[in-house]
Amino acid sequence: MISVVVADAGPLIALGRVNRLALLTAVFQQVQVPHAVLAECLMRRELPDARRIEAAVADGWLLPCEGTAIEAAGLGAGERAAIGRAQAIGAALLADDQAARAFAAQLGLTTVGTLGVLVKAQRMGRLPDLRTLIEELRASGYWLSDTAIQQALAAAQTRP
């Protein structure tokens, strides 16, 4: 079981859009957010997801931290900071970006994405209807592939 994750912006924004950031506290003991990631999430503070992320920081659900950016061509500052922090403390990486996940995997890091969080929450009985929430995510403009959705729905039906 993963207890500590270092978050990239994508999953935070996705969960913020559908007002489900609290699921992170149900699934993980600690969610660290490098300052570079937090800055990315809060660039447009007028958006509901940004306000929810800011509130989650204020409530202590998300823990701001330093992130030592790693060198990785093609990755943004937030992704590099999150991967560097996860590697430094031996945590998992919470990210949806495929390039970031692939790079982290090459470093031996465990990765989990938004759908992985939702599957874990479903298995824990913290989410009544995974399919409806996935549809809500897509309706909010968050891109999820059909393949990833089918895999998540199948995984939610099996026990770990």
The 10s digit of each residue's pLDDT in 25-61 is 999 999 999 999 999 999 998 999 999 999 999 999 9
Q: What backbone torsions phi and psi does residue 59 show, to the nearest 5 degrees? A: -80, -5
CB-based burial of residue 147 (10 Å sphere; 0-12 exposed, 13-18 middle, 19+ buried)? exposed
Count each helix (H run) and each strand (E run) in the chain, helices first. Answer: 9, 5
Best CA proximity match to 127, nearest among 155, 90, 150, 105: 155
Residue 71 has a pLDDT of 86
CATH level 3 topology of 4-114: Rossmann fold (3.40.50)
Residue 159 has a pLDDT of 58
Answer yes or no: are the C-beta atoms of 55 and 7 closer than 8 Å.
no
Region 131-156: mean pLDDT is 88
Predicted TM-score (pTM) of the model is 0.92
Residue 91 has a pLDDT of 95
Alpha-carbon distance of 46 to 77, in angstroms, equals 22
Bridge partner list, 2: none
